[in-house]
Amino acid sequence: MCGIFAVFGFAEGQTEFRQKATQLSKKIRHRGPDWSGVKLAGQNILCHERLAIVGVDSGAQPLTNEDDSVILAVNGEIYNYLALKKQLKGKYNFKTHSDCEVLLYLWQEQGPDMVKVLDGMFSFVLYDVKKDVFFAARDHVGITTMYQGWRSSDNSVWFSSEMKSLNEDCDRIIAFPPGHYYLSSTKETVQYYSPKWYGDIANGIPPLSDENKVLTPKEDEEMYTAIRKALEASVKKRLMSEVPYGVLLSGGLDSSLIASIAMRMRSAENGDEDDFDIKSSVSAWPSLHSFSIGLPGSPDLAAAEKVAKFLGTIHHAFTFTVQEGIDAIYDVIHHLETYDVTTVRASTPMYLLSRKIKAMGVKMVLSGEGSDEIFGGYLYFHNAPSAQSLHHECISRIQNLHTSDNLRANKSTMAWGLEARVPFLDRQFLDVAMEKVPANHKLTGSGPYKHTMEKYVLRKAFDTPESPYLPHEVLWRQKEQFSDGVGYSWIDSVKEWSEKNITDAQMAGAAQRFPHDTPTTKEAYWFRDIFEQHFPQKACLESVVRWIPRKDWGCPEDPSGRAQKGHIAKYE
The per-residue pLDDT for range 361-395, each reduced to its tens digit, is: 999 999 999 999 999 999 899 899 999 999 999 99
Strands 419-421, 133-138: pairing is: unpaired
- Please report, in range form, the residues annotated as the binding site for ATP: 248, 293, 367-368
| Torsion on CA atoms 278, 279, 280, 284, rounded to nearest 10 | 100
Residue 226 sits at φ, ψ, to 5 deg, of -65, -40
Kindly state the percentage of the chain with pLDDT values over 70.
92
**Has 2 been annotated as catalytic?**
yes
Helix axes 488-501, 522-534, angle to 10 degrees: 80
C-alpha distances in Å from residue 339, one per residue of 159, 403, 437, 492: 22, 11, 34, 18
For 248-277, what is each residue's pLDDT tens digit?
A: 999 999 999 999 999 999 987 555 666 667
> Do 283 and 270 contact (CB within 8 A), yes or no?
no
User: How many whole angstroms separate alpha carbon 441 and alpha carbon 438?
Assistant: 5
Closest CA to 120 of 149, 86, 83, 87: 83
C-alpha pair distances (Å), 511 with each of 370, 502, 507, 516, 518:
34, 15, 8, 8, 6
Of 197, 204, 566, 554, residue with least CA distance to 385 = 554
List the 3-8 sheet strands across, edge first: 35-41, 44-50, 3-8, 156-160, 147-151, 172-175
**C-alpha span between 82 and 206 (Å, rounded):** 37
How much is the pLDDT for 558? Answer: 72
Spatial separation of the C-alpha atoms in residues 350 and 329, rounded to whole Å: 12
Name residue 90's amino acid. G
Annotation: binding site for L-glutamine: 99
C-alpha angle 79/85/91, rounded to 5°?
Answer: 165
Model pLDDT, residue 146: 98
pLDDT score recorded for residue 571: 42
> According to the model, what pLDDT value does residue 284 have?
60
- 3-state class of 198 per DSSP? helix
pLDDT value of position 572: 46
Report pTM: 0.94
Confidence of residue 486 (pLDDT cuts 50, 70, 90): confident
pLDDT tens sequence across 187-229: 999 999 999 999 875 566 666 666 678 899 999 999 999 999 9
Active-site pick, 2, 47, 170, 394 = 2
First and final CA of the chain: distance in angstroms?
42
Type and span of the H or E element at 39: strand 35-41
For the chain, domains (ranges, CATH) are 3-194 (3.60.20.10), 217-563 (3.40.50.620)
* Residues whose CB is less than 8 angstroms from the CB of residue 104 and which lie 6 or more positions away in sequence, other chains included: 63, 64, 65, 70, 72, 126
Alpha-carbon distances of 481 from 73, 399, 439, 487, 527, rounded to whole Å: 35, 20, 22, 10, 20
**Among 254, 264, 315, 326, CA closest to 289:** 315
Which of 249, 238, 227, 250 lies closest to 459, judged by CA?
Answer: 227
Could you tell me which residues are annotated as the binding site?
99, 248, 293, 367-368
Residue range 469-485: average pLDDT? 78
Quote the CA–CA distance of 232 and 230 in Å, as a whole number.
Answer: 5
Contacts 24+ apart (CB under 8 A), 500-507: 501/526, 502/526
Q: Are strands 364-366 and 419-421 parallel, antiparallel or unpaired?
A: parallel
Per-residue pLDDT for 493 more than 80? yes
Q: What Cα–Cα distance (Å) separates residue 117 from each residue in 71, 85, 95, 198, 271?
A: 20, 12, 22, 19, 23
| Contact assessment for residue 464 and residue 265, using Cβ atoms and an 8 Å cutoff | no
Question: What is 210-271 written as a DSSP string?
Answer: -TT----HHHHHHHHHHHHHHHHHHHHHTT--SS-EEEE--SSHHHHHHHHHHHHHHHS---
Query: Could you say which DSSP state residue 201 is in?
Result: G
Asked if residues 563 and 492 have their Cβ atoms less than 8 Å apart, the reply is no
Quick: pLDDT tens for 294-327. 999 898 899 999 999 999 999 999 999 999 999 9
Question: Residue 524: in which H helix or E strand, if any?
Answer: helix 522-534
pLDDT, tens only, 402-437: 999 999 999 999 999 999 999 999 999 999 999 999
- Determine the pLDDT at residue 567: 46
Question: Helix, strand, or coil here: 530?
Answer: helix
